[in-house]
């Protein structure tokens, strides 16, 4: 029986503010794609992270997000020299204020609905110790029972230990938990290593053969879970 649902933060509960990324690109290279094009390029960014992790299994999260951005930009037709020029400007924009600040409509209500059905709801994030404050800033903290931040606990996904820490805090067994994220090699592989059911976010429906449950977004998944709990 499902008793707890864990969510990744960046790319799952909160998404990149691509309007700000567009501004950074316009400043640095003089052109930028649409926000819709960026969302499609997320798939190339994820693939770039998977390739980087396969090449270097010890790759840390800070390097992964750089690989993600550069992979996405390459898929959008930016040349290596343009990416090299844009990188510092994008990083500077992130330093000015976290780029992961867009919350899909209905997310807070969806998390609240899970909690109303008696589930523990939490976030497991590879971050730098600031994700709890970020989730507070964007209005999601009140709908979470706790946050496990790799920068605080000293271990990051896909290491199963970070998932075990969350299981301990929630007081549930692995078979009673689910983890939702956007990166196969980080979220799905990590959850499986801790014997937790994974769900991979797939907004454009391109991961049909990935071998695990998928969902277009958090509100859709939560709606499915609430419906199944109601039938139970």
Largest CA distance in the chain: 56
Higher pLDDT, 62 or 11: 11
Please work out, in degrees rounded to the nearest 5, the angle formed at the alpha carbon of residue 116 by the alpha carbons of 111 and 119.
70
76-135 pLDDT, tens digit per residue, is 999 999 999 999 999 899 899 999 999 999 999 999 999 999 999 999 999 999 999 999
In the chain, domain spans: 4-14+102-231, 18-98
Identify the CATH assignment for 4-14+102-231 out of 3.30.70.3270, 2.60.40.10, 3.40.50.1000, 3.30.1330.10. Answer: 3.40.50.1000
CA distance 110 to 20: 26
- Please report where in the chains the tokens 């390459």 appear, as a residue: 74
Q: What is the separation of C-alpha 146 from the centre of its chain, rounded to a whole number of angstroms?
A: 16
Quick one: how far is CA 49 from the chain centroid? 13
What are 156-211's pLDDT values in tens digits?
999 999 999 999 999 999 999 999 999 999 999 999 999 999 999 999 999 988 89
Surface-to-core class of residue 15, CB atoms within 10 Å of its CB (0-12 exposed, 13-18 middle, 19+ buried) = buried
Strands (E), 115-204: 120-125, 146-149, 177-181, 197-201
């Amino acid at each position: 029986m499902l008793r707890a649902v864990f969510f990744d933060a960046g790319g799952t509960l909160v998404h990149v503010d691509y309007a700000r990324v567009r501004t950074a690109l316009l400043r640095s290279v003089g052109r930028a794609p649409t926000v819709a094009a960026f969302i499609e390029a997320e798939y190339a960014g994820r693939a770039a992270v998977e390739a980087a992790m396969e090449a270097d299994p010890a790759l840390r999260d800070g390097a992964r997000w750089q690989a993600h951005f550069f992979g996405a930009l390459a898929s959008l037709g930016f040349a290596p020299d343009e990416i090299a020029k844009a990188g510092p400007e994008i990083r500077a924009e992130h330093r000015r204020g976290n780029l992961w600040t867009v919350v899909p409509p209905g997310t807070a209500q969806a998390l609240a609905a899970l909690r109303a059905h008696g589930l523990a709801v939490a976030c497991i994030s590879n971050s730098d110790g600031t994700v709890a404050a970020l989730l507070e800033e964007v209005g999601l903290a009140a709908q979470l029972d706790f946050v496990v931040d790799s920068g605080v606990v000293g271990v990051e996904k896909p290491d199963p230990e970070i998932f075990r820490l969350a299981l301990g805090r929630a007081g549930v067994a692995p078979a009673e938990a689910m983890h939702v994220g956007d990166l196969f090699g980080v979220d799905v592989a990590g959850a499986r290593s801790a014997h937790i059911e994974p769900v991979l976010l797939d907004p454009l429906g391109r991961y049909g053969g990935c071998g695990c449950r998928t969902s277009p977004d958090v509100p859709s998944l939560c709606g499915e879970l609430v419906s199944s709990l109601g039938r139970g």
